[in-house]
Structure 1
């Protein structure tokens, strides 16, 4: 009888070359559940700052949103509470964080306004053009591959869609976040990866966040009555 397969170790992050820790980067087990509960408290301000940038009215009608790496699901709850958001999908690689997010947002899930599913930035398992907005807070530096993640999130967006990709930073980062700040060379690599795939990319500084605001051009409508040649 063969021995049970050993679970594969998480891939190292592209920024450090080291495996994400089980406390906050890729939470697992009792330690990870504790980390998830702390994230729910400590990241609340950053999540609200990113949410304030989301002018969903720029997209016609109520929007569909994908959050990549929602952790314990605090931002999922804020998104589903918005009247201009029709449906939200959370894609989370951690089994323990998915459980916390599902528990915290049971009412929205029961109302079919929210789905929480396994996956990560490079492999969401979602169809092409399924979202008007993709948002991810404090995940980009721990992705295994920056280019694969950027390409996957672009694939999810419809014409006119928008990506809000945020990391610790901003005009006045908290003391706890300062060891996590990315240097300009690393931020530049993120911006370059996005510019290869998106039509416009802007870097925005909120109080606690450095946010990359990347947009897909709206589809050009054919003139039903083109001028005669």
Structure 2
């Protein structure tokens, strides 16, 4: 863990939000659940997820976006996170939907979701892209799991400003998405910068 570095060049160090583990990780999960709810709700309103959509969330954390997605009719959700603590928290938060088979939550990361090729309509990452070790590996995985016409959506903090990525880092995310998908669009929401692309062919 000490030698692992992120694509931004920064080491994750002992930051409990980078890879939540143990008691500190569970506390971080509770903080994330409160702090990110408004951001998740804003993104979901912008996305307008329709009935019948199969969504993959990469880096689901404590499962707040999963919970909000299950309030939409006939939406199925697969969610992955590299943290065992976050997987457990997300499963508890969404226990009823898990029992009903609408939600599947398991260990995984941006480069290895465990989802079959072309299985999802919408792949989302919220406030996790800066934690990916290799940016292009994550983009390749999103492209692989999406069906033709499916959409990849990557959001990162705009507010509070102390969490915002630098301009060149935002440009790197946009360029990596465009390189893999052949297209990319940047949208500014109140709390997030959102990058999206559609899989063609």
Query: Which TM-score tier does this pair reach, normalised by the shorter chain?
Result: over 0.9
Change (3 A) 1:158 1:20: farther
SS in 1 for 2:80: strand
C-alpha displacement at 1:21, in angstroms? 3.4
Compute the TM-score of the two structures, normalised by the length of structure 1.
Answer: 0.83
CA contact (8 A) 1:10 1:19 kept: no
C-alpha displacement at 1:56, in angstroms? 2.9
Which residue of 106, 111, 116 maps to 1:117?
106
**What's 1:223 paired with?**
none
**Residue 30 in structure 1 maps to residue 23 in structure 2:** yes
Q: What are the residue-to-residue correspondences of 1:13-162 with 2, within 5 Å?
A: 13-57=6-50, 62-85=52-75, 87-162=76-151
SS in 2 for 1:46: helix
1:133-152 CA-partner distances (Å, limit 9, x unpaired): 00110000110000101111
C-alpha displacement at 1:10, in angstroms? 7.5
Give the gaps of 5 or more residues in structure 1. Answer: 1-7, 220-229
C-alpha displacement at 1:200, in angstroms? 2.6
Aligned length: 201
Bigger Rg, structure 1 or 2? 1
Runs of 4+ in 1 over 4 A off after TM superposition: none
Partner Cα distance (2:61, 2:142) in 1? 18
Partner Cα distance (1:48, 1:118) in 2? 24
1:24-65 CA-partner distances (Å, limit 9, x unpaired): 1111100110010010000011101111121334xxx61100
Structure number with the higher helix fraction is: 2
Compute the TM-score of the two structures, normalised by the length of structure 2.
Answer: 0.95
C-alpha displacement at 1:187, in angstroms? 0.8
Give the gaps of 5 or more residues in structure 2. Answer: none
Cα root mean square deviation, aligned: 1.5
